[in-house]
Structure 1
Amino acid sequence: MSVGPAGDLYVRSAQELIKQKLSEDDHRIYIKIRDLSSTATTLYRESLLEESRNCLKRAWDYLDKHAKSEELILLGKSRIAQTEAYLDFLQKDFKQAKSLLQTSLESDEVLETDYEYSVFHVQRLHNLHLQIRIDFETGNPASAIELCEKIIQYLTGNLDDLLVGNGWGGERVKNTPAIFRNSILSQIVGEVGTHLTKQSAEIGRELFMKFPGWKLLAGNDFLKEIYEWGSMKEAFLNNEHEKFLELCAAFLKKGPMETLLWHTTVLDLCACCKALRPSQTKEFLKEVAEDAKAIIVMEGSQYIAPTEIGFKQVVITKDDAIPVHVLPTDLRKMLENNSDFSVTKTRRKSIELPRNFHAYDVGLPRSGTSSIASLFGNYRSRAEFKERESVEHIVAWKDGHISRETLRKYVLNRHRVGGLEMDPASFNHFYMSILVEEFPEAKFIFTIRDCYTWVNSFSKMISRWRKHFHDVGYEMPGWMLDYGRILFGKFDWNWLSSYQTVQSNLPELVGIFVQCWAKYNRSVLELLPPERSLIIRTHELSQSLDRIAEFIGVPGNRLTTNHHVNISPDGDDLLSNFNRGEFDELCSRYGSDIMERVFSENPMVV
């Protein structure tokens, strides 16, 4: 299944099985192929299409050169072909997508049947979901609906063979965990619901009659909404308006659940209102269109955690875990365009907005970057802009999957899309040399914290996140784990699961974090262009506002006063049980030059 909310649990299960079954050498080769494929998707999302294609070509070449066993060859072909099929689908090269999809399906069937990769049954069904999307996009809705119906019959135990290739059977369905079956069912029916809303009443009625499988889910407590939707859709298509509105009111009152069907029902309600009371419902239709624009993932201190459902995400904040829905582009557009009134849409400009100034904070996390973002709140300033995307590119670069030139293209694209005047991302230091080269007029603020308080604060921050993910029942996202690997090398996140585990592993953690502090701060100091840089010690930030304003070239009264943000919520000293003399010795061993330059009585600051 695809990496992300729909398939994270499956991905973990599959990767664990692959690691168990392959030899150490073969597994190392597979990981390289897997990561190149994932990087290709990451590059595609950033419109780096040529680089994405090159990454896939490297994956195929690496497979041809290094894979010797049939098992590894099949695993590699399956992974690369599935990725390439999906990207071809996005580029509307449907013929090539279908060909690659067939390659992936055939490889997965052999892996499941001959090599006992039973979990790949889920991936094969997920590949059929892409086949359904291709059929819909190529004007074959009847074929798509027919396959959707077969899959529902199959997953509910009413059909033994999908008649698409080989290797299907009731026993295989029984051995597929319910969590995966429900995920696939929700995505399949979501596709049906979305595409039925695009059809005329006559065609919609004809297609819906080919899809009686929704009735089989009346007893599925997790996906009962599918049965409720089917009852409403049937009434809607039969012009039983009173029955539809009665069912619709109860359904919509529950709010979005596990599928997209709540949103497709809103579209049906809009169509019904237009037909019955066109003039009286204009404001309602306009409100729906406006609301659709606002359906976005929350911003702020949050991370996306996986769920078992394709279009549902959980936003993990510092205080809670909040479910949200992410709508496919076509469904969002239908909701936005349902009104007869023109709705003002936010469009990204193709040219860069003029900047009053151009500056970066290149400090580490927990060094004041969030405070700088807030300080410049009257300007275009945003903390951690495109964090996940940036980390994925940094990891791909560090792992050798992309070149520095490709990373440079990403950095330039991020700069263009963001249009930020103050960019205080705590990962800017990784590609600082590119920033210095590409933006000769940009200025650099370097907020730096003394080693002891940084290690203490940083330890608390990441242990809070580790504990919070554990408390809400989710694994750490893969990109965060990769980020930790790049930052710290050998590192076990379980060391941070609780106060007790932190204390048990304190010597190792302190050693890792002190070296991290020294390594990355030293790198920044070496790269700072003296004539356009300002070093601010974090504890002096509040007393340095006039210096900062003068350095950037803005009036001091335009800086905000609300810059004490991202403060640690507790006063616990995680280092209280660590000998301070030993800590200072470590700091001196790894970072005496930094302490001398920045934190001595006569610092040699820029």
Structure 2
Amino acid sequence: MKLRSLKSLSTAVKFRNGARIFGTGAAKTGTHSIGEMFSDAVFAFHEQDAEKLIRLHLERETTGNAKPLHRYLRVRDRLRNLKIDSSQINIYLINDLEQLFPESLYILTIRRPLDWLRSMIDDSLRRDTTETWLRFRDYRFGPKASLPHETPLETRDLYSVGGYLKYWTDSIENVISRVTPERLLIIKTHEISGQIEQIAHFCGIPAESVTPEKTRSFVNPERFGVLAELDPEYLIDTVEAACGDLTAELFPDYSIRDAVAALKVA
């Protein structure tokens, strides 16, 4: 979307009080819910202008020139006037947001790795997407699956388990390594509905402004059972190698082996 198109969409008048809130986290971790749960009270959106931001980020990665992206972010901020801007794309914009909008606050949504991986694969299979988002998938997940143990992924033109989980890890570490703890709220996906007051307090918005049914937005309506087709021991070993330490730190009561076993009965 061009900048002049942004201007035509900014027709309502609302004031953004307090700090900007950037919701960030991997796809399918709850960024949609964070972007919608306060939308009745403030300008709060999920992945608004996503394709333009993806193209500008990928262009910056190729050319090393961040000026077009920064110009767009500044004008977009002025015209959209978002209090809460929640998007998986924000993972890759943390340094830019910190430079342009210092003292902003961040909500990082995190999800247990096997729950997330299943949901990510199901979401990829259930709907078509645009060329921009396909390029973004390649950028995030790397090469397509080709290993002998990953035939169920390869035949569906999906990515490797390691590639998906590297993205899962990067989506967390990119945020916590760049945002100071006092400006960062980490929320587990399965706890969003039960943490309304904490999230509202962090955002400086009354908890009664939350629309409860929006705290579980964009839930996958269909499951394809792809992970259950993989060899369980291979899956356990791959998850442990890719993100076992981070998983143990963030989800101390979570068992990767139990989660893999549960895939067979889900």
Structure 1 position 566 matched with structure 2 position 218: yes
Identity of aligned residues (%): 22
TM-score normalised by structure 2 residue count = 0.81
What amino acid is the match of 2:251? F
What amino acid is the match of 2:15? P
Q: Could you tell me how far 1:366 is from its partner in structure 2?
A: 0.4
Q: Could you tell me how far 1:377 is from its partner in structure 2?
A: 1.9
What amino acid is the match of 1:354? F
Once residues 459 and 437 of structure 1 are traced to their aligned partners in structure 2, the CA distance between those partners, rounded to angstroms, is 34
Aligned partner of 1:590 in structure 2 is 242
What amino acid is the match of 2:101? F
Change (3 A) 1:377 1:593: same
Provide the alpha-carbon RMSD of the alignment.
2.8
Runs of 4+ in 1 over 3 A off after TM superposition: 346-349, 500-508
Q: Could you tell me how far 1:548 is from its partner in structure 2?
A: 0.6
What amino acid is the match of 2:217? V
Q: Could you tell me how far 1:485 is from its partner in structure 2?
A: 2.3
Q: Could you tell me how far 1:420 is from its partner in structure 2?
A: 0.9
Q: Could you tell me how far 1:506 is from its partner in structure 2?
A: 8.7
2:251 to 588, 594, 599: 599
Task: Tell me if structure 2 keeps the 8 A contact 1:382–1:423.
Answer: yes
DSSP-derived class of the 1:534 partner: strand
1:387 to 50, 61, 67: 50
Once residues 551 and 348 of structure 1 are traced to their aligned partners in structure 2, the CA distance between those partners, rounded to angstroms, is 26
Aligned partner of 1:207 in structure 2 is none
Q: Could you tell me how far 1:373 is from its partner in structure 2?
A: 1.6
Aligned partner of 1:356 in structure 2 is 17
Task: Tell me if structure 2 keeps the 8 A contact 1:503–1:574.
Answer: no
Aligned partner of 2:258 in structure 1 is none
- 1:208-287 equivalences under 5 Å are none
DSSP-derived class of the 2:48 partner: coil
Q: More relative contact order in 1 or in 2 (CA 8 Å, sep 6+)? A: 2
- Provide Cα deviations, 1:238-288, integer angstroms capped at 9, x if missing partner: xxxxxxxxxxxxxxxxxxxxxxxxxxxxxxxxxxxxxxxxxxxxxxxxxxx
DSSP-derived class of the 2:15 partner: coil
Aligned partner of 2:261 in structure 1 is none
Once residues 387 and 347 of structure 1 are traced to their aligned partners in structure 2, the CA distance between those partners, rounded to angstroms, is 15
- Provide Cα deviations, 1:14-55, integer angstroms capped at 9, x if missing partner: xxxxxxxxxxxxxxxxxxxxxxxxxxxx8xx347xxxxxxxx
What amino acid is the match of 2:56? H
Once residues 394 and 517 of structure 1 are traced to their aligned partners in structure 2, the CA distance between those partners, rounded to angstroms, is 19
DSSP-derived class of the 1:527 partner: coil
Q: Could you tell me how far 1:439 is from its partner in structure 2?
A: 2.0
1:477 to 121, 130, 140: 130
Q: Could you tell me how far 1:384 is from its partner in structure 2?
A: 0.9
- 1:363-382 equivalences under 5 Å are 363-378=25-40, 379-382=42-45
Change (3 A) 1:544 1:579: farther
Aligned partner of 1:536 in structure 2 is 187
Aligned partner of 1:548 in structure 2 is 199
What amino acid is the match of 1:489? G
Q: Which residues of structure 2 form unaligned runs of 5+?
A: 255-266
What amino acid is the match of 1:359? I
Change (3 A) 1:490 1:347: closer
Task: Tell me if structure 1 keeps the 8 A contact 2:142–2:159.
Answer: no
Task: Tell me if structure 2 keeps the 8 A contact 1:429–1:520.
Answer: yes
**In the comparison of the two structures, how many residue pairs are matched?**
244
Q: Could you tell me how far 1:597 is from its partner in structure 2?
A: 2.9
- Provide Cα deviations, 1:490-544, integer angstroms capped at 9, x if missing partner: 348xx9xxxx964746995322212221223221221222111100010111111
DSSP-derived class of the 2:199 partner: helix
- Provide Cα deviations, 1:149-183, integer angstroms capped at 9, x if missing partner: xxxxxxxxxxxxxxxxxxxxxxxxxxxxxxxxxxx
Deviates most, 556-565 or 407-416: 407-416
Change (3 A) 1:348 1:570: closer
Larger Rg: 1
Once residues 524 and 581 of structure 1 are traced to their aligned partners in structure 2, the CA distance between those partners, rounded to angstroms, is 31
Aligned partner of 1:420 in structure 2 is 82
Aligned partner of 2:262 in structure 1 is none
What amino acid is the match of 1:548? I
Structure 1 position 453 matched with structure 2 position 104: no
DSSP-derived class of the 2:205 partner: coil
- Provide Cα deviations, 1:100-119, integer angstroms capped at 9, x if missing partner: xxxxxxxxxxxxxxxxxxxx
Once residues 418 and 347 of structure 1 are traced to their aligned partners in structure 2, the CA distance between those partners, rounded to angstroms, is 8
